[in-house]
Amino acid sequence: MHPTPPAQRLVFGVSSMAGIDPKQPLAFIDSSSFIMKENVFPYCIPDKRDLTPTELALLDFLLKQVDGVTVEASELKVVARCGCGECPTILFGKSMDDEPIKSSDSRAVMDWSGRAANGTVIDIVLFAKDGIPTELEACSMDCGDVETWPPIDEIQRT
């Protein structure tokens, strides 16, 4: 067991990712600032590409429900994905040369949830900075595996 630093608490989780012990902490959360400190894998990994048709349709659907976003989904590129390498979380830029912006450097502009095809309830959070989406995050609400985005007709605001 890792010693718990003062003013921090451990976050444990069950994971199907190879090599990760569910009894070990996934991260430390600083209770004074609520900033996640990576412990197991990097925040994000490079993934320079266009959005897939599924990602584009989902992001377009979500952006129509958000005030203050100044770009269209079609103007964005994927510049990175979640460091876990398993979930569908993606980080955006206006060009593939842009550096990813962490969620701690942007703000959550909307929160949705939906049920994926495997039955997992997924929380979907859109982060933005200066009116430009920076990240679309997927996380399990019921400790299930997050492999794909829920179908659009299964998504609702939380």
For the stretch 115-157, pLDDT in tens is 988 888 999 999 999 999 999 999 987 777 788 999 999 999 9
Q: What are the tokens at 134?
A: 């920076």
How do the domains of the chain map onto residue ranges? 8-38, 44-157
Q: What is the residue type of 102? A: K
Taking only the tens place, the pLDDT of each residue in 104-113 is 889 999 999 9
Mean pLDDT of the chain: 79
Q: Cα separation of 43 and 89, whole Å?
A: 11
First to last CA, the chain: 35
Higher pLDDT pick, 13 / 136: 136
Under 8 Å CB-to-CB from 19, ≥6 apart: which residues?
Answer: none
